[in-house]
Amino acid sequence: MIYAPVVAALIATLALLLARAFLGPNVFDRALAANAVGTVAMLLLAVIEFYTGRPGFTDLALVYGLLNILGTVAVLKFFRVGDLGEPGEKEEEAA
């Protein structure tokens, strides 16, 4: 069975990413860690699909991927312009 080592490796990756998200001195470390957590969650869902043979989890993984992009873009835009609605006129330091 190849699935057990794959799941173990993905969960170890998750633990490392969470450590970076907790410790990360920088906001960018945290944002990158959160983005990578979303990616690993997608991979875990794909592994679950192939392990259990239940279809539909890949669709769920695709939704995760889209939401991951949305959240990361929102976080980075907020950090860049300090507001989500403005088209980017004022430069504010957030955090």
Partner 1 sequence: MIETPGIAALFVMLAAVAVAVARQRNLFGVVVLTGTYSFLMATALAALDAADVAMTEAAVGAGISTVLFLGALNLVGSLESKPMERPWIPLVLSLFTGMLLVYGTYGLPAFSDPHAPIHTHVVPRYLQEGLAETGVPNIVTAVLASYRGYDTLGETTVVFTAGIGVITLLRRRRKKKEEGGS
20 sits near partner 1 (criterion: CB under 8 A): no
How far out from the chain centre does Cα 58 lie?
16
Which tokens is 8 given? 């173990």
Give CB contacts under 8 A, 24+ apart, made by 27-36. Answer: 27/79, 27/95, 31/72, 31/75, 31/76, 31/79, 34/71, 34/72, 34/75, 35/68, 35/71, 35/72
Shortest gap between Cβ of 28 and partner 1 (angstroms)? 10
x/- mask, partner 1, residues 50-89, rule CB under 8 A, reads: -x--x-xx--x--xx--xx-xx--xx--xx--xxxx----
Shortest gap between Cβ of 35 and partner 1 (angstroms)? 9
16 sits near partner 1 (criterion: CB under 8 A): no
Which tokens is 72 given? 């990361």
Task: With beta carbons less than 8 A apart as the criterion, state whether 68 and 38 touch.
Answer: yes
- Which residues here bind partner 1, judged by CB under 8 A? 1, 3-4, 7, 11, 14-15, 18, 21-22, 24, 27, 30-31, 33-34, 37-38, 41, 44-45, 48, 51, 54, 56-57, 60, 63-64, 67-68, 70-71, 74-75, 78-79, 82-85, 94-95
